[in-house]
Amino acid sequence: MSEAQSAEFEADHTSSILGKLTADKYHLKIGDRIPLTSTIYPCAIELKIAGIYSGTVDDRNLLFHHKYLDEACGNPGWVGSWWVKAASIDDMPRVTQAINRAFANTSAEVRAETERAFQLSFVSMLGNIKVFVRSICTVVVFTLVLVTASTMSMAIRERLRELAILKALGFGRGELFALILAESFGLAMLGALVGVGGAWLFFTHVSIARLTQNIFITFEVTARIIATATLVAAGLGLAASFAPAWVVARMSVVQGLRTLD
């Protein structure tokens, strides 16, 4: 945001600053006025847009002077939360305990907590998200194991005669298992390249905020996510090769040559 817009915001306590995503969504521009009513505060205010900011993690917010809200509601001096910066993470327990003790047994008791705990308290309102996500991931991975194993079994079943000929030519069980493992692992890694690489390209060059109508602010495909997804794909490739390899190991040359296409 330009310095002129920032100066105008500081000079006029009835002005506001609006995020670019929200401004674009509602077709608002500098100089427009926004009337706000509330079911919590017993007053209404009207804000003038003094500036539009962009380039932050969250370009959706509306910022205005708390003093204006106090004046419109009769100067009650209400405060929802205070942010206190501690010197280090080691000081957090001592700071939170000191704040809680200072307001204990008063008409305005507070609960001091870390920023992480504060954010997780809102996430917990949606339920146990961690268990929910893990359950979905477990079901998806299990389904992928069944699909991958079924695909590899069908592929090997169609080539049992070829594998029987290889056995007749002197290929041992270990060599045939290595061929099956290489095919299964190669297919799994190709899938990982398409899936993980496609996700990285998509979320790197596409705005998730615009795609989800600002429900999600950002989504990053980090190195940890890429490594985890690649390991899962590798595990799927290894798991899918065991069943067909076991069938080929137990199959005799005669049984393989008798197999019908």
Domain residue ranges of the chain, discontinuous segments joined by +: 3-72, 89-124, 128-258
Q: Tens digit of pLDDT per residue, the chain (261 long)?
A: 999 999 999 999 999 999 998 999 899 999 999 999 988 888 899 999 999 999 888 888 999 998 899 999 887 777 778 899 999 989 999 999 999 999 999 888 899 999 888 888 877 777 677 788 888 888 988 888 888 778 877 877 777 777 788 888 888 877 888 888 888 888 888 988 998 888 888 888 877 777 777 667 777 788 888 999 899 888 888 888 887 878 777 777 777 677 655
Which residues touch 102 (CB under 8 Å, ≥6 apart)?
none
15 sits in which H/E element: strand 15-19
Q: At residue 17, what are phi and psi to the nearest 5 degrees?
A: -120, 135
pTM of the prediction? Answer: 0.54
How many angstroms separate the CA atoms of 183 and 144, rounded? 17
Which residues touch 86 (CB under 8 Å, ≥6 apart)?
92, 95
Closest CA to 69 of 77, 81, 61: 77
Tokens standing for residue 23: 């401004």
Q: Between vectors from CA 9 to CA 8 and to CA 13, what angle results, nearest 5°?
A: 115
Helix (H, G, I), strand (E, B) or coil at 86: coil
Please report which residue ranges of 46-172 form alpha helices under DSSP H.
Answer: 66-72, 92-102, 115-123, 129-157, 160-168
Sheet containing 62-64, strands listed edge to edge, beginning at the edge strand earlier in sequence: 33-36, 45-53, 15-19, 62-64
Residue carrying structure tokens 């290489």: 182
